[in-house]
Amino acid sequence: MIRHTPLLKSLRLVLSVVLLAAFAVALLPVASDAQLPVIRFVKDPDLAPDFQVKDLDGKDLSLQAFKGKVILLNFWATWCGPCRAEIPGLIELQNKYKDQLQVIGMAIDEDDDTELRDVVKSESINYPVALTTGPVRMAYGGITALPTVFVINSDGRVVQKHVGLYNPALYETEVRALLNLPISARIETFNDTGEVFLKHADRATMLPGVNTEGLTTEQRAAALHKFNAEACTCGCQFTLAQCRIYDPACKVSMDRTTSIVKEVSTAHSNASATTKPQTPADPPAPATPSTPPAPEPAPTPQTPATPPQP
């Protein structure tokens, strides 16, 4: 009779549990690409505008200094609640991928950096922070809301822009994708039509708050041309199309684009009403052949004069 020792019984129990777990996993459905979350990157992205500023430690700060790394360029402010809420996530990302990632904080605060220094110290921020200059803000589209994060790949190109507070897990997934590390997400690409850089607003076929559904293809093209050719008079110094993307709440650009849509539609309707098909005129009656004129009588030959007598 064979006696099983307690150790042998324990090994058999562990082996049984492992086999059952493996069998259960095998029965689980494999997630298809369609079921995976999606991250989106710009197709043919633009180079990120470089800058030369001083960080809070007085050191030179530029994108060029971190060439070859993925960069999260974070525009924020000390008085912005959502900005403060995302700082711990950015700190964790910087720690986790410090050899391949660089977070840069560009603070939109007053010139006095006293409060900014206090926040950097209290939050134990481990990435460079600098006060943002006006030219840098404009180079990145004016920064309409905070926080705003530009995702820059290792080639120095802006592949995504996020406005508002986002889950740090999204940033990490994007960073890992750009670093060619495994991710549980599907990558899609899109054309920048002003969502990232306003200069590409002329590529947009739809603008916030502008309804062009009632226009024909030709009318829509004409309206979009006007949106991109006409400057907004609200003082933003943008075209109408750029202002609609930059500030969807702007009443000036909203009213003017609405008027343009009506003008284009009305012009087409008037042209259709005045241009009516004309009834072709009756062909002219064939001319009645006239009687040819009678020929003139031939002149009577004259008798030659008699030469004088000698």
Which residues are tagged catalytic? Answer: 80, 83
**What 3-state class would DSSP assign to 269?**
helix
Q: Which long-range contacts (CB under 8 A, 24 or more apart) does 119-122 make?
A: 119/78, 119/84, 120/56
Contact 159, 178 (CB under 8 A): yes
Other CB atoms within a 10 A radius of the CB of residue 65 amount to 14
- C-alpha to C-alpha distance for 143 and 114, rounded to whole angstroms: 23
- C-alpha to C-alpha distance for 95 and 93, rounded to whole angstroms: 5
- C-alpha to C-alpha distance for 159 and 39, rounded to whole angstroms: 11
Q: 114 is written with which tokens? A: 């006293």
Instruction: Give the sign of the dihedral formed by CA 229, CA 235, CA 238, CA 240.
Output: negative
Strands 101-107, 129-131: pairing kind: parallel
- C-alpha to C-alpha distance for 234 and 239, rounded to whole angstroms: 10
Contact 160, 196 (CB under 8 A): yes
Instruction: Give the sign of the dihedral formed by CA 168, CA 169, CA 172, CA 178.
Output: negative
Other CB atoms within a 10 A radius of the CB of residue 213 amount to 7
Angle, alpha carbons 64-85-36 (nearest 5°): 75
